[in-house]
Amino acid sequence: MTKILIIYTGGTIGMVNNPHTGALIPFDFEQIQQNVPELARLNYDLDVYSFNPILDSSNMDPQIWAKIAGLINERYEIYDGFVILHGSDTMAYTASALSFMLKNLGKSVVLTGSQLPIGEIRTDAKENLITALEIAATKSNGQAMVPEVCIYFDYQLFRGNRSIKYNSEKFEAFRSPNYPKLAEAGVNLSFFNNYISQQPGTALQLETNFNTNISVLKLYPGISESAVKAITRSSAEAIVMETFGSGNTTTAAWFTDSLQEAVDAGKLIVDISQCQGGSVELGKYETSKKLQQMGIVSGFDMTFEATVTKLMYLLGQGLTYREVSSLMEQSLRGELTA
């Protein structure tokens, strides 16, 4: 019988209304099972690991990511696939982080959750949970159909490190702006094999050392010199710079001088676009040519979530500045299109 491990971290999927305050509070997985009797009809051997206490996803951090990845690594040979129940707010961060922590992954790790609590009449939780389990259990020629960390929500399966949460009110909470969906659930489950990563030939490796000493510089018209230098002169080892369009910034001398000063001080600066779709193309316009010349690294079409977690991951591996710069511009887990 197919064995699936459900890792229950928390999130809206396992919430009920507090009778005293009206606010949503978490409950345990046994109550989820009571609300989804269909689980008993699935021909899977299901085990559950519940976090204690249950977490709001806003409290996710690299230590918790490492715990989740460690659980998967410890039980990797026991289970055919893994489903992680997680709050949607930071789900794309967790999915991206796990994709880097679980090197040579050969089984499905599917994150899902819901926009409405599982006890609500119109909840999306039941479908998301049941189909996520089906995806995690699906094999082809004895191997996992989707050997990736991915997100399933509202009938669509996305690569985890390509996903963003784009809507807090619709059931269609996630999108993958720069990479096609991996599968779609209709009357049948349709897998799009051309976009799914290939089964690795080597054993799973757990890599959980993350260095969180990074900063974010988001540009906007009229940004002040003091605001920029508060970031470029900070103690951060690396900076994610969210720029305009295909990687463009102001060409004001004080701005480029501030970036050059940071680069000269050994800070790694990664340029990603504020646009959800498209890619950074350093040097395409005059406004980004100087960035390219001073050694700013291109994030190409990576999401913000993937850029942040990849940078933390690489900085935690004890690599040189040159090695981190080079690897940020390479696809490690299918997170970018160079």
Token pair recorded at residue 69: 């990845």
Distance CA 13, CA 201 (A): 35
Contact 49, 81 (CB under 8 A): no
When pLDDT is averaged across residues 36-60 and rounded to a whole number, the result is 88
Total count of residues recorded for the chain: 338
30 confidence band (pLDDT: 50, 70, 90): confident
324 confidence band (pLDDT: 50, 70, 90): very high
27 confidence band (pLDDT: 50, 70, 90): low
Q: Is the pLDDT of residue 256 over 90?
A: yes
Element (H, E) at 206: strand 205-206
- Residue 89: φ, ψ to 5°: -60, -40
Q: Is the pLDDT of residue 203 over 70?
A: yes
Q: What is the pLDDT of residues 275-288, one digit of tens each?
A: 999 999 998 877 78
- Highest-confidence range of 31-35, 121-125, 217-221, 282-286, by mean pLDDT? 217-221
pLDDT at residue 56 in the model: 86
Name the residue ranges covered by the structural domains of the chain.
2-206, 214-328
When pLDDT is averaged across residues 189-198 and rounded to a whole number, the result is 95
Q: Do domains 2-206 and 214-328 have the same CATH topology?
A: yes
Q: Is the pLDDT of residue 35 over 90?
A: no
Contact 41, 81 (CB under 8 A): no
321 confidence band (pLDDT: 50, 70, 90): very high
Q: Is the pLDDT of residue 8 over 90?
A: yes
When pLDDT is averaged across residues 22-51 and rounded to a whole number, the result is 80
pLDDT at residue 283 in the model: 82
When pLDDT is averaged across residues 95-117 and rounded to a whole number, the result is 96
Q: Is the pLDDT of residue 24 over 90?
A: no
Q: Is the pLDDT of residue 33 over 90?
A: no
Q: What is the mean pLDDT of the chain?
A: 93
Per CATH, the homologous superfamily of domain 2-206 is L-asparaginase, N-terminal domain (3.40.50.1170)
Pick from 49-53, 161-165, 176-180: least confident: 49-53
Q: Is 12 a catalytic residue?
A: yes
Give me the architecture of the 214-328 domain, per CATH. 3-Layer(aba) Sandwich (3.40)
Q: Is the pLDDT of residue 305 over 90?
A: yes
DSSP state of 122: T
Q: Quickly tell me which residue has 């999306």 as its tokens.
A: 124
Percent of the chain exceeding pLDDT 90 equals: 78
Q: Exposure pattern of 176-192 as b/e (b: 16+ CB <10 Å)?
A: bebbebbbebeeeeebe
Contact 309, 149 (CB under 8 A): no
User: Which residue out of 12, 90, 307, 309 is catalytically annotated?
Assistant: 12
